[in-house]
Structure 1
Amino acid sequence: MLLRRTSLNFVNNTLSKNSKWKIVDIGCGYGANEFATVVADTQDLSSFYKEKNFVKINDKELPFKDKEFDFVICSHVIEHVEDFEFFVKELERISSKGYIELPTRLGDNIVFENKQDHIWWFTFDDVINEIVASKRNQLMDPFITVSTAKLFEKIFRESFVLELAWEEKIEYKIDNQIRNDNIKKISFYKLIKKFFSKKLRTFF
């Protein structure tokens, strides 16, 4: 199977057993995976990653040789990339396998910080095992912070993130269909109002 659901715990367990692997974490900011031997980001974080090999990304093309790595980690990055297709090809070029983590549509809509810098929405087709990408659409008022979402993730992780493992090829399709134009944005405050209104009616 070229692309499948997984979990970060399973991936980390696999990486811990392969200490000789050359592992790169792409676009991780200050949160690099503990098993990454190389960290790459558009920010210059060389002073932060003194114990790892840091490489600054200056162009669309990743600054690495073909199949340079045994494993590539890309967590919460692809949703920011305008040229999604090119970036996916770059991941496939520099490694033969890896881990991708993406926000779900629900998580992307309800978290305050997930706003204009997120370009894409993602779902996973479990029948044919491929990522389905579409342009992001804000359908409801965000109402929780990233820190609150992190707490929810501990219990409802599958509702907030897609965790995918791939080998050789990242199967995907881009859904260009325009939808939801006639759906009124869901207001969190109206939902709360309805909730308490129902509670009051029940109480009295």
Structure 2
Amino acid sequence: MFFQHKILSIKAGDKVLEIGPGATPHPRANTFLEYRFLDENEAIEQRGDIKASPNFQGRPVIYYSGEKFPFNDGEFDYVIASHVLEHVPNPEVFMSEIYRVGGGRGYLEFPLPPYEYLFNFDVHTQFVWFDLQECVIKYLPKRKTALSQFNSISSEMRTALELGWDDLVSNNLEHFFIGFEYESPVSIIEQKDLSQYDSKWQQNGNTLSRRLIRKFSRLIKLLGLGRS
């Protein structure tokens, strides 16, 4: 989760469900919902190749293997789903279940299409974005695009990411990921293509502060203090 600071409206008495917490369960979650993977290697791949199992600190973890969540209607007050929506085979069913068990309040976070075009992780099956003007989540299954034609390039980009060449992404998170709270159910609609996706780079990347950050980063690497 890149934008944990955006989670602001959880109330003291709220019962919070987190779906697919990966390696870092949210400290405020009361219950966790995890997909039951038959293969441990697949579970590791789904949580970003992090081998260590998450530490739930004794909080209950429920495993399921289908589309319907094993909870009653309105059982929770708030639902967190960070970096899960891009993995699921049917985003509309997934979101309807979130709204069913969570009363329509929660937090979503997911990578945007530019990130998928760069890296195209196999475990991500959907392009997802949020249309701010229409207040609609939009998605497009990757299998309905020609993205696979660029597999050799995206594979090279994934290797670069693993080697630490993540400056473009880490310095511009808002262009590659989105996280937002919602207070009532948000519509989700499948798209025919990516023509409706619209995100403009408006801030100048050559400001004094950014130049200083780049120089400082290079200095750290020259001094051998950066990542190995």
TM-score under structure 2 normalisation? 0.64
1:25 to 18, 23, 26: 18
Return the alpha-carbon distance in structure 1 between the equivalents of residues 140 and 68 of structure 2.
Answer: 23
- Give yes or no for the alignment of 1:161 onto 2:168: no
> For 1:135, which of 128, 141, 159 is the aligned residue?
141
- Residues in 2 aligned to 1:168 and 1:28: alpha-carbon distance in whole angstroms: 22
How many Å apart are 1:124 and its aligned residue? Answer: 2.0
Residue range with higher mean Cα deviation, 126-135 or 65-74: 126-135
In structure 2, the residue corresponding to 1:116 is in which secondary structure? Answer: coil
- Matching of residues 61-100 of structure 1 within 5 Å: 61-95=68-102, 96-100=104-108
Structure 2 residue matching 1:163: 3-state secondary structure: strand
Q: 1:52–1:121: structure 2 CA closer, same or farther, 3 Å change rule?
A: same
Deviation at 1:91, TM superposition (A): 0.5
2:199 match: none
Q: Given the alignment of the two structures, is residue 58 of structure 1 paired with residue 48 of structure 2, yes or no?
A: no
Query: In the aligned structure 1, how far is the partner of 2:98 from the partner of 2:63?
Result: 16
| Distance (Å, rounded) in 2 between the aligned partners of 1:105 and 1:178 | 8
Q: Which of 1 and 2 has higher RCO (CA within 8 Å, sep 6+)?
A: 1
Return structure 1 stretches of 4+ with deviation > 6 angstroms: 44-47
Cα distance change, pair 43–174 in 1 and its aligned pair in 2 (3 A)? same
Q: Which amino acid aligns with 2:80?
A: I
What are the superposed Cα offsets for residues 67-112 of structure 1, whole Å, 9 maximum, x if unpaired? 111110001111111122111100110112011111011112223x
Change (3 A) 1:20 1:131: same
Contact 2:6 2:181 in 1 (8 A): no
Instruction: Report the alpha carbon displacement of residue 153 of structure 1 after superposing the two structures with TM.
Output: 5.0
Closer, same or farther: CA 168–9 of 1 in aligned 2, 3 Å = same
% same residue? 21
- Give the length in aligned residue pairs: 168
Which shifted more, 130-139 or 167-176?
130-139
List runs of 5+ in structure 1 lacking aligned partners: 1-6, 180-204
Give the Cα separation in 2 of the matches to 1:23 and 1:148.
34
Structure 2's unaligned 5+ residue stretches are 38-42, 44-52, 196-228
Q: Whole-Å Cα distance in 1 between the matches of residues 12 and 194 of structure 2?
A: 46
Equivalent residue number for residue 14 of structure 1: 9
SS where residue 130 of structure 2 aligns?
A: strand
CA 1:19 to 1:153, structure 2 compared with 1: closer, same or farther past 3 Å?
farther
RMSD: 2.8
Equivalent residues of 1:29, 1:43 under 8 A apart: no
